[in-house]
């Protein structure tokens, strides 16, 4: 059965992290912290262009059990592997050291130390991780790992007062950019930190202003299906860095701080001054920002029903077409599940996340959810499907 069950509550995964901690380190953790993955409802590849995004944290969490050390070591272990402990000396922390997943918590420790959040007397930590956020699915598993780590390290170092939620998001992004080498924008970390139960986050990634809008789809007899294609993506190795570089080049040529500063009225000028491929990249960002703003305007009018539901679905589907054709970050599997979901009765569907694999979402009436799910699984049997629920952001669990 490829329909994922309800594994979204944070309690069981926090308990798993605590058990792993005791098994790996032979003592009881000082606490457990958790941060969620996210689904970006609309607004893709706009965040690093200082534009608008509309994500929501989902009830899939990464939990970390933690306790301090006194010997200058950062020790990490994950339930998603052979349970082998990796040890890193705090004095040896440097970008790309170590390789693999431990680089993410190591990078957060490095960023917190560099920012003065962790005091000079900080002696290290034991960390044990467990997660229900799918890896490589475009649901921000790395941000969940980073933000849970940051909260835990600050807490066990008695440095929580020096780490505001906004600073947690900023330093987690900085760690991913510089330490792990992934040039992501602020979307993922802001979503993981500021997630709200029952709400989506309208984020202006230039000002970092965040507005929470109610998004209780069940009231309108709707659901948002997340369809993990099983095609794993790695943003650091995919075409993601090239897309970002293309956008920054276009902004420089067009004389603006970021593509956020352009409107559809500027697209003819962009087409005249840029090569055809770069002009299409610009067109996606400009039109995607407008789609986000239009989607938010629909939410402000009330529940997504009737014409508002139709309009919302059309915006999601138009976003996918733009990502597929103008930004060229989709893939065959994503296109198949989006097209199949629409034919089966979804109101709208699109890829979500950076692309080159990962997941799609479909806005579906509850009475059509089983039909859409069955159709998608017929078309792509290896897909994993679950219903996204807006969830609380990073917090201490125990």
Judge whether residue 83 has pLDDT over 80.
Answer: yes
In terms of C-beta density within 10 A (0-12 exposed, 13-18 middle, 19 or more buried), how is residue 178 classed? middle
pLDDT in tens, 142-192: 999 999 999 999 999 999 889 999 999 999 999 999 999 999 999 999 999
Please indicate, yes or no, whether residues 162 and 262 belong to a single structural domain of this protein: no
Q: What's the pLDDT score for residue 234?
A: 63
Judge whether residue 268 has pLDDT over 90.
Answer: yes
Q: What's the pLDDT score for residue 232?
A: 81
Q: What's the pLDDT score for residue 9?
A: 82
Our count of domains for the chain comes to 2
CATH (domain of 182):
3.30.230.10
Judge whether residue 381 has pLDDT over 70.
Answer: yes
Mean pLDDT, rounded, of the chain:
95
The rounded distance, in Å, linking the Cα atoms of 322 and 281 is: 9
pLDDT (average), residues 25-42: 98
pLDDT in tens, 106-145: 999 999 999 999 999 999 999 999 999 999 899 999 999 9
Residue 84: DSSP 8-state: P
Judge whether residue 2 has pLDDT over 60.
Answer: no
Please indicate, yes or no, whether residues 196 and 241 belong to a single structural domain of this protein: no
394 part of a folded domain? no
Coil, strand, or helix at residue 34?
Answer: strand
Please indicate, yes or no, whether residues 228 and 281 belong to a single structural domain of this protein: yes
pLDDT in tens, 237-256: 568 899 999 999 999 999 99
Contacts with 330 (C-beta within 8 Å, 6 or more apart), sequence order: 320, 323, 324, 351, 355
The pTM for the full model equals 0.94
Which residues form the catalytic set? 188
Which of 209, 237, 266 finishes a domain? 209
5 part of a folded domain? no
What is the band of 7 on the pLDDT scale with cuts at 50, 70, 90?
Answer: low
Please indicate, yes or no, whether residues 287 and 198 belong to a single structural domain of this protein: no
2 part of a folded domain? no
Residue bearing the bigger pLDDT, 44 or 97 = 44
CATH (domain of 268):
3.30.70.890
Structure tokens of 64?
């970390």
71 part of a folded domain? yes
Identify the H or E element spanning 188.
Answer: helix 187-194
Structure tokens of 397?
């669990």
349 part of a folded domain? yes
Please indicate, yes or no, whether residues 201 and 260 belong to a single structural domain of this protein: no
Q: Where in the sequence is the domain holding 235, given as residue range(s)?
A: 214-387
Please indicate, yes or no, whether residues 148 and 288 belong to a single structural domain of this protein: no
393 part of a folded domain? no
Please indicate, yes or no, whether residues 160 and 228 belong to a single structural domain of this protein: no
Q: What's the pLDDT score for residue 6?
A: 45
């Amino acid at each position: 059965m490829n329909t994922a069950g309800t594994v979204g509550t944070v309690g069981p995964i926090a308990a798993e992290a605590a058990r792993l901690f005791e098994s790996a380190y032979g003592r009881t953790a000082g606490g457990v912290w958790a941060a969620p993955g996210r689904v970006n409802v609309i607004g893709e590849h706009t965040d690093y262009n200082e534009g608008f995004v509309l994500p929501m944290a989902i009830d899939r969490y990464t939990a970390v059990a933690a306790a301090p050390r006194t010997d200058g070591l950062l020790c990490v272990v994950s339930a998603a592997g052979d349970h082998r402990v990796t040890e890193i000396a705090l004095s040896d922390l440097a970008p790309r050291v170590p390789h693999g997943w431990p680089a993410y918590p190591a990078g957060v420790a490095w960023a917190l130390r560099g920012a003065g959040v962790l005091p000079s007397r900080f002696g290290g930590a034991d960390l044990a991780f467990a997660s229900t956020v799918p890896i490589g699915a475009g649901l921000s598993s790395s941000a969940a790992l980073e933000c849970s780590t940051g909260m835990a390290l600050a807490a066990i170092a008695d440095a929580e007062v020096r780490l505001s939620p906004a600073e947690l998001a900023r330093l987690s992004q900085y760690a991913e950019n510089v330490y792990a080498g992934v040039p992501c924008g602020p979307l993922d970390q802001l979503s993981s930190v500021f997630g709200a139960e029952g709400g989506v986050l309208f984020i202006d990634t230039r000002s970092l202003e965040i507005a929470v809008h109610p998004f209780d789809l069940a009231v309108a007899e709707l659901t948002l299906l997340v369809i993990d294609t099983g095609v794993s993506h790695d943003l650091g190795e995919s075409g993601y860095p090239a897309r970002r570089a293309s956008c920054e080049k276009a902004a420089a040529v067009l004389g603006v701080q970021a593509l956020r500063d352009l409107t559809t009225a500027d697209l003819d000028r962009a087409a005249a001054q840029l090569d055809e491929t770069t002009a299409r990249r610009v067109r996606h960002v400009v039109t995607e920002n407008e789609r986000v703003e239009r989607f938010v305007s629909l939410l402000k009018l009330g529940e997504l029903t009737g014409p508002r539901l139709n309009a919302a679905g059309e915006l999601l589907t138009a976003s996918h077409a733009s990502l597929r054709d103008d930004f060229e970050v989709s893939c065959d599997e994503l296109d198949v599940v989006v097209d199949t979901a629409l034919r089966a009765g979804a109101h709208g569907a699109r890829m979500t996340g950076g692309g080159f694999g990962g997941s799609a979402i479909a806005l579906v009436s509850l009475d059509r959810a089983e039909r859409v799910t069955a159709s998608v699984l017929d078309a792509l049997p290896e897909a994993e499907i679950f219903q996204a629920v807006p969830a609380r952001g990073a917090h201490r669990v125990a």
